């Protein structure tokens, strides 16, 4: 048993899509959510620069005495997870990568589409995962240009702003016959409504890996015997490198997600 918090990290607000699933699956676990906010978006910055941001962020989470870290950011996972696992060998890390496997194993059309940031799609992690499945399915990729900014600026509900961005990224995947669309960036689930709208009546499944990440976290807590005790009252904290206004926006967004449950 261990009542220390779990650290959850993202470049910004996107990781709240994972935070929501963690909270639901693990109601006794305290969570410290760190949104960099200051250097977001990460997805189109040089790798070395993003590695620096991620290392700094994880150091900050360690100051909160976390017992496990969920990297609720595909981009940060792609550039830094190996480094972090060797640097903090005593802390389990849950990384995120585009859910190629479940899409490849269930595709009927034989074509799947992966939506992610440029960095995630160009990293070794993604390349290696693709190599395991690209003899079974055709794997198409598309960068969600402007998706992260849209969510960060609070425009994810605005059809006028979000829909044209989503159309541009998703329509080419549909035109090529993809029957699975993998959300390979934690900001993208906030645009799911628009993605479904572009899909329309087609038989296409959108895959959000967040619930699977929560299950993996649960498994690791048991494996290391570090679950919070049953009676433990979970606390939810939010931290950022950006300003107080940003902190208020993340907190509001999180509370909204909690109410939707
Ligand atoms: N939410 C992140 C991801 O999962 C990072 C997006 C960004 O900062 O570009 O990739």
Q: What is the mean pLDDT of residues 115-136?
A: 93
Q: Residue 34: its pLDDT value, please? A: 98
Looking at the structure, do residues 197 and 109 belong to the same domain, yes or no? yes
Q: φ, ψ for residue 155 (rounded to 5)?
A: -100, 15
Distance 225 CA to ligand 1 centre (A): 30
pLDDT band at 118 (very low <50, low <70, confident <90, very high): very high
What pLDDT is recorded for position 153? 97
Give pTM, 2 decimals: 0.96
* pLDDT tens-digit readout, 211-238: 999 999 999 999 999 999 999 999 999 9
Q: How many CA atoms lie within 13 A of 85 on its CB side?
A: 13
Number of domains in the chain: 2
- Please check whether residues 132 and 52 belong to one and the same domain: no
Q: How much distance in Å is there from the Cα of 111 to the middle of ligand 1?
A: 24
1: in domain: no
For 57-109, write each residue's pLDDT tens digit. Answer: 999 999 999 999 999 999 999 999 999 999 999 999 999 989 999 999 999 99
Indicate whether 21 belongs to any domain.
yes
pLDDT band (50, 70, 90) for residue 1: confident
Helical axes 124-133 vs 74-87, angle rounded to 10°: 110
Specify whether 214 is located in the same domain as 181.
Answer: no
Cα 58-60-62 angle, rounded to 5 deg: 70
Q: How far does residue 131's CA lie from ligand 1's centre (Å)?
A: 23
Average pLDDT value for residue range 12-40: 98
Choosing from 190, 207, 224, the residue where a domain stops is 207
Domain that residue 241 falls in: 6-96+210-260
Asked if 118 and 145 touch (Cβ cutoff 8 Å), the reply is no
For residue 138, give the DSSP letter.
E
Bridge partner residues of 114 (DSSP): 141, 182
Catalytic residue among 40, 130, 150, 185: 185
pLDDT at 261 over 80: no
Is residue 73 flagged as an active site residue?
yes
Residue with tokens 């990781």: 15
Instruction: Report pLDDT for 94.
Output: 98
The verdict on 12 and 76 lying in the same domain is yes
Q: How many residues does the chain have?
A: 261
Same domain flag for 123 and 51: no
- pLDDT tens column, 153-199: 999 999 999 999 999 999 999 999 999 999 999 999 999 999 999 99
Residue 217 within a domain:
yes
The residue whose two tokens read 């900050």 is 60
| Residue where one domain finishes, among candidates 192, 207, 222 | 207
Ligand 1: residue of 34, 114, 148 to mutate (most ligand atoms within 8 A of CB) is: 148
Q: Are 40 and 11 in contact (CB under 8 A)?
A: yes
The string of pLDDT tens digits covering residues 189-206 is 999 999 999 999 999 999
Looking at the fold, whether 194 and 104 belong to one and the same domain comes out as yes
- In this structure, the answer to whether residues 174 and 130 fall within a common structural domain is yes
The region, left, alpha or beta by phi > 0 then psi within -120 to 50, assigned to residue 110 is left
How far is residue 56's CA from residue 204's CA, in Å, rounded to a whole number?
39
Structure tokens given for 199: 């899909």
| Short-list 37, 53, 20, 8, CA closest to 152 | 37
Would the CB of 39 count as within 6 Å of ligand 1? Answer: no
Tokens 């967040």 locate to 210
């Amino acid at each position: 048993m261990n009542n220390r918090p779990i650290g959850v990290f993202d470049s910004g607000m996107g990781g709240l899509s994972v935070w929501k699933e963690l909270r639901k699956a693990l109601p006794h676990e305290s969570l410290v959510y760190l949104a960099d906010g200051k250097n977001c978006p990460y997805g189109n910055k040089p790798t070395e620069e993003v590695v620096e941001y991620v290392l700094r962020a994880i150091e900050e989470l360690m100051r909160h005495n976390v017992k496990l870290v969920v990297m609720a950011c595909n981009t940060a996972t792609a550039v830094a997870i190996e480094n972090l696992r060797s640097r903090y060998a005593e802390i389990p890390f849950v990384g995120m990568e585009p859910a190629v496997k479940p899409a490849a194993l269930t595709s009927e059309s034989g074509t799947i589409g992966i939506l992610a940031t440029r960095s995630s799609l160009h990293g070794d992690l993604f390349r290696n995962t693709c190599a395991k499945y690209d003899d079974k399915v055709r794997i198409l990729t598309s960068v969600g240009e402007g998706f992260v900014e849209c969510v960060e600026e609070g425009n994810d509900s605005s059809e006028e702003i979000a829909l044209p961005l989503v159309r541009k990224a998703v329509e080419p995947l549909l035109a090529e016959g993809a029957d699975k669309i993998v959300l390979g960036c934690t900001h993208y689930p906030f645009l799911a409504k628009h993605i479904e709208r572009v899909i329309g009546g087609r038989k296409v499944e959108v895959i959000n890996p967040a619930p699977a990440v929560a299950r993996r976290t649960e498994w690791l807590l048991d494996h290391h015997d570090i679950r919070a005790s049953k009676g433990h009252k979970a606390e939810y904290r939010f931290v950022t490198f950006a300003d107080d206004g940003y902190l208020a926006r993340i907190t509001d967004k999180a509370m909204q997600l909690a109410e939707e449950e």
